[in-house]
Amino acid sequence: MSQQETAIDVCGLTKIYGHKKVVDDFDLNVPKGAVYGFLGPNGSGKTTTIRMVCGLLTANAGSGTCLGWDVISQSEKIKTEVGYMTQRFSLWEDLTIRENLDFVARMYNIPDHRRKVSESLENLGLDGRSDQLAGTLSGGWKQRLALSACMIHDPKLLLLDEPTAGVDPKARREFWDNIHDLADSGVTILVSTHYMDEAVQCDFIAYIAYGKKLIDGPSGEIAARVGLHTWRVEGKGLSEISRILKQNPNIEQVARFGTALHISGLDEAALRAAIAPWQNKPDILWREQPPGLEETFIHLMNKAGDNY
């Protein structure tokens, strides 16, 4: 992926509904072929931002380009280069897989559409199920069909809105393998999500809350830039440790992750002092570790202000 090739470069994007700024002064730069995640709670403005960037929604303010086209004056040009996969399955359940793809190909006026449909079926492993009704498919296979449909016109930009909701872990893994293959071929991908296991699949992440971008950058650098320090503790008595440390003003987060607690704070010395009384107790294992995306996101959300 070349960092010199830019797919999206916008600044100051703002969207207002009534008296509320749903998206407030949003800047974004996305390299071509990147998988770029928009992470935030429901209602934070993720989908609205993506739609403005891609010409599907007109901004009240701001400027920039997407795929070389102006996001305000050339939105119709951008739309022809975009594939959009919604969270809910939106194809026709009483049609077969092939019939669904054939219908979508005709809508895009794709030349030799039958050949293109056959290629799409083969590329995503759907050719053996081509005559199966879409309504009888499992969640994972519906997901494959939806991805195939939104890529059938060979878009340069793919939008994914909560793409793996309701599918099993195996299907989720296969889906992301397909997404990374598309990115390697030069397709730029924007992902709207509030799931951490989707966010970790992204090359870049923008954290959004209440319409504002809190931070963005390469996914592997975000946690370090925030400056959190985290300890993981396993063993006996975790409930008591959690209860007491949550009352300590120097502890910002105490969160349960399976059989362990993650304890985080910005002041490293104060954090060490807070956990010191338990560190030498038997049957308890402590380990310092880098903070993850979830701890980072919770920290940023705690600092954000509501836009209502």
Nearest to 186 by CA among 52, 38, 9, 7: 7
Q: Quick check: helix, strand or coil at residue 5?
A: coil
Cα gap 48→58, rounded to integer Å = 10
Question: What does pLDDT average to in each consecutive run of 10 residues of the chain (308 residues)?
Answer: 75 92 93 93 86 89 94 91 83 90 91 89 83 87 88 93 76 88 95 83 91 89 88 92 92 90 93 92 91 85 59
- What is the pTM assigned to this prediction? 0.85
For position 198, what pLDDT does the model report? Answer: 81
For position 230, what pLDDT does the model report? Answer: 93
For position 307, what pLDDT does the model report? Answer: 42
Token pair in block for residue 205: 């992440």
For position 165, what pLDDT does the model report? Answer: 67
Look at the alpha carbons of 276, 277, 283, 284 in this order and tell me if their dihedral is positive or negative. negative
- In the chain, DSSP assigns E strands to 6-17, 20-31, 35-39, 61-66, 69-70, 82-85, 157-161, 188-193, 204-209, 212-218, 229-235, 253-257, 260-265, 284-289
Domains detected in the chain? 6-223 (3.40.50.300), 229-290 (3.30.70.920)
For position 87, what pLDDT does the model report? Answer: 74
Longest dimension (CA), the chain: 72
For position 305, what pLDDT does the model report? Answer: 54
- Which DSSP symbol is given to 96? B
Cα gap 148→136, rounded to integer Å = 17
For position 179, what pLDDT does the model report? Answer: 92
Cβ atoms of 206 and 38 closer than 8 Å: yes
